[in-house]
Amino acid sequence: MYPKKWGPAIMDAGGQGSRFKESRFKLGIFQLRSSFMIDFYTASTPNGRKVTIILEELGLPYNLHKVNLKDLEQKKPEFLAMNPNGKIPTIIDNKGPEGKTTVFESGAILYYLAEKHGQFLGESLPEKTRTMQWVMFQMSAIGPIFGNYYYGLNTLTPPNPGFIERFEKEARRLVGVMEIQLSGNKYLSGEGYTIADMVTYPWVAGFIHAQPGWFEDKPAVKRWAELVGARPAVQKAMA
């Protein structure tokens, strides 16, 4: 009835031509001297890809540290010292405004980088607030609801159809909210491409691939996904 796995566009890591140096996250040695300004701890998941998108959009060189989630590297003391929540993504900005700055939570990371570099957020307080309300919509709703649906479908044992139905219904309602917003706006927060689009795209692109039926009557969401997905930085992040 449902596809069981994320498609290759969703879960495979990569990105060619990016200005990053790759290293496996190795416990005990991850504090090696950084050669680039940003150390980026991530894995090949939608939340990780959001940060790749903004790093690529800004053209920032970064040290890529792949974290093995299956081996629970994200729960080790060395990782928890950076991110007490024990999850990717996490960044260390070695040239933060007050020196070395560690940021976790994908929405906060995108906000930090957008504000620092003066791009993809908006100019005025109302513009920034419009951007942030759609960032919050993704962080509090699209991510957790889509994520729980995916968990119910692929991981939960014994299978629980009521659980899946609950999260499918809410996920489809959220896609409907996006459809209304994108019917009258080029991008989620208005006419400009912002971090709201960057945080939302990896999740929605994944589900357009895995659950095309949810988007059959959602032309504005599909139009937006094509527009955002055509950006070179996004293509690198999703490759």
Q: Segment near ligand GSH (CB under 6 A), from 26-34, 58-66, 86-94, 160-168? A: 86-94
Mark out the alpha helices in 74-231 (DSSP H runs).
77-80, 106-117, 125-137, 143-154, 161-184, 195-210, 219-229
**Which position has the token pair 């357009």?**
208
Q: Between residues 192 and 206, which has the closer beta carbon with respect to ligand GSH?
A: 206
Q: Segment near ligand GSH (CB under 6 A), from 1-9, 32-40, 82-90, 225-233? A: 82-90
**Nearest-CB residue to ligand GSH?**
87
Angle at which helix 195-210 crosses helix 143-154, to 10 degrees, equals 20
Work out how close the CB of 22 gets to ligand GSH at its nearest, in angstroms, rounded to a whole number: 18
Work out how close the CB of 126 gets to ligand GSH at its nearest, in angstroms, rounded to a whole number: 25
Work out how close the CB of 46 gets to ligand GSH at its nearest, in angstroms, rounded to a whole number: 6
Angstrom distance (rounded) from CA 167 to CA 178: 17
Beta bridge partners of 65: 23, 41
Among 186, 198, 239, 196, smallest CA distance to 57 is for 198
- Residue 33 is classified by DSSP as P
Angstrom distance (rounded) from CA 195 to CA 207: 19
Angstrom distance (rounded) from CA 192 to CA 224: 12
From residue 162 to residue 201, the character string flagging contacts with ligand GSH as x (rule: CB under 6 A) and all else as - is: ----------------------------------------
Work out how close the CB of 137 gets to ligand GSH at its nearest, in angstroms, rounded to a whole number: 13
Work out how close the CB of 10 gets to ligand GSH at its nearest, in angstroms, rounded to a whole number: 11
From residue 47 to residue 76, the character string flagging contacts with ligand GSH as x (rule: CB under 6 A) and all else as - is: x---------------------x----x--
Q: Which residues bind ligand GSH (CB under 6 A)?
A: 45, 47, 69, 74, 86-89, 105-106
